[in-house]
Each structure stands twice: as C-alpha cells, then as structure tokens.
Structure 1
C-alpha cells in the first residue's frame, strides 16, 4: 500500500521511493517514470518519435499512448523520419484501420507532414533534435507540488512558433512543453521525488 503526501502530490511507493501520483497508477507508468521520463533524448529519431507521440496524446491520457507505443512504433516504421515522410494515401488508410494505434486522421497526417519537415531541416544544415535542444532554458522549474508545475513556458511558446514556421503541425506551446519535460530540456520532477536531478542536464 502506498502512502501519499497530498500537499505535494508525491506518493511513497511500496519500494519506499517518492513519485508523483500519476506514476503510481500502474507498473507501466512507474517504469516509464523511473527509466525514461525526463532523461535526455538528443537523437533525431528519438525526438521525432516523442514529438509525434505527444501530438497523439493531445486530449488523451499519456497512459493510453504508452500502452499503444509498441503498436505505434510498428505502424510508423520505428519513427524513422525518412520512412514516414514517404507515406502516402495507402499508408494513411492502413493506419486508419489499425486498431493498435490512435486512429485520428488529422494527427496521422500531421505526423507524416512533420516527418517531411524533419527532412527539410537536414537540407538547411540542422536537424530536429538540434533545433529543439536550442530552446533549452537558462534554468529549470523546481516544483514542490503538482500545482507548481507549469504547462507552458516562454521557451515552449518560442519553440512552437519556430516549428510551425518550418512546417510542423500539432506543436502547440503546451504540447511542446510536455515534449521538453519528456526529453530533459526541463526538469519538472517534484522536489522530493527520487528522480529529481537525475538526468545529468540539471544540477
């Protein structure tokens, strides 16, 4: 049985470690929180995958996306931008009939378009990971309670605008802040969590 600290939102798990309540909802979420969330992702494919999945998550729970991630990876060719950029109408219809993923045509089309925009960045002498990491802030939040965690920032607004300028879709400021949290640009682990400060990006 877990003990909770409602004033902060931290929960002490059966292993004695403190996590936010959302990370104690299932073994899947706990493993994701403990091993992935907030750790640096600096390769193009990794950032493209997470940008894509954050877009699919919009309006839904992250647990839903995480459960479907293996199917997403299979359906979207391992999120290889070159492969996804080549998807046409046949692939769109295949994806729309794939019950293993979230079948949202607008998000599917955005993912394909974002793969093409990712390739266009290469032609300009940069890549998606380099562009995104260029918006790392000078400091990170240090939330002591769930209510202290922002949902957007000046940097996520600026990143959203830059990606949209370059042809990306479904990259609003809130979605981009979630991406920044997920790949380590900011550390929004609650102060007191066993994961706070473990990314190596922030002290």
Structure 2
C-alpha cells in the first residue's frame, strides 16, 4: 500500500499540481456546525440521495420544491407518523419520485432520526462520530435506517459536511490497486480493511477522511 504522500503526488500530477489539487479538496464542517443542523435537514438530505438513486440528479433537483412541499418540509414528527392515506396520496402525487420503497424510506428514516434524540440528536451523533470508526456509523445507518447504509448514505453525509469517505468507483479502484480490497467492499471484513487503510493515511497526513477520499478519487 502506497503512503499518502505517494498517492497525493499521483493526484497532484493528474490535476496539474498541488495547488490545483488543494482547490478541489473538500473539508468537513466542524462538529459544532454539524450538531446545529436541524433534523428535518438530515431527513431531506437522506431522502434526496435516495430519490436520486438510479436517476439523473437533475430530475430530483428540478422536482425538489414540489417534493419538499409534498413531504411537509420533511418534518420528522409528521413523516414518522406517515399513514396509509398520506402514503397513497404521495404515490398519486406527480410532484415527487413515485417509487413506493423510496417513499416508505422517508417514514423509516424519520423514525431513525427520532431515535437519535436520546443521544443528543442527529447532528450531534453524526458530527461527533469518530472518523476512525466511520464504518461504525455506516453500520448504524444500515441497521436502523432505510436505504442509507451504503454509498447513498455516504453521499448524503458528505453533502452535509460530515467527515467521511465515499466509496465511489474511483476510490474503490484505488483501494483495489493498493491491495486493500479485491472488489467493492460490502462485507464487514472488507469495510474494516478500508477503515484501516484510511486510518493509516490519516496518521501519515494529519488530514481528514474527506480530504483523503478526494485524493484517492483523483488518483485514477
């Protein structure tokens, strides 16, 4: 496995130098800023990512004002109590992405977010989760949330500023090239290996998961 400096050099060369690469690197938000994000914004972020699965992002973006209205601003209390009548009305509502499983995920993820209130709220949980155990957060989201345990949830967390790696095609390709995994990681063993590699690169560089993930993505 190459050192972070070696991988950084590869990416910098591909992007026209270190300054150009640095301009492309996202940085995570401070934990305090993430903790202040209201839970309806988390539900909206998860739902936007879920609705976009298998679609062009622009489709959801163009529909978003109607989606926001149809789901009552993604109010967590309201969405967690979604009954059959509201569900049926949503499935007939042309403003939204009318996929039953995706619509149902809004209710399920609202229930998940409500469950985090006992731990200080979603923002606190996501913002303070240790970067060295990011796979633990993904496991929590997979077991207690709906359709957010994989890359869909990773995309949502990244958009919200959480320190995270994103197992995109390019990142997975680099991890395979470095001998960390041999295919897209789905098993606990493979994800543990991925976390271990990122932890090593964090130790070597002093950088965040988010920055390292971006460097890996630009290296192919």
Query: Smaller-chain TM-score range?
Result: 0.5 to 0.7
Structure 1 ranges of 4+ moved more than 6 A: none
Structure 2 portions without partners, runs of 5+: 1-13, 16-22, 166-209, 212-220
Higher deviation after alignment, 84-93 or 59-68: 59-68
Is 1:163 the equivalent of 2:141?
A: yes
Number of aligned residue pairs: give it. 141
> What aligned pairs does 1:35-114 form with structure 2 within 5 A after superposition?
42-114=37-109
Bigger helix share? 2
> CA–CA distance in 1 between the matches of 2:137 and 2:119?
18
> What aligned pairs does 1:1-203 form with structure 2 within 5 A after superposition?
8=15, 42-122=37-117, 124-135=118-129, 137=131, 155=134, 157-165=135-143, 167-186=144-163
- Work out whether residues 84 and 112 of structure 1, in 8 Å CA contact, stay in contact via their aligned partners in 2: yes
Structure 1 portions without partners, runs of 5+: 1-6, 9-17, 20-37, 139-153, 189-200
Q: Deviations over 1:145-195 (max 9, x none)?
A: xxxxxxxxx72x432211233x2111122112211221112499xxxxxxx
Q: Please give the TM-score of this superposition, normalised by the length of structure 2.
A: 0.55
> CA–CA distance in 1 between the matches of 2:119 and 2:157?
22
Bigger strand share? 1
What is the RMSD of the two structures over their aligned residues, measured on CA atoms? Answer: 3.0
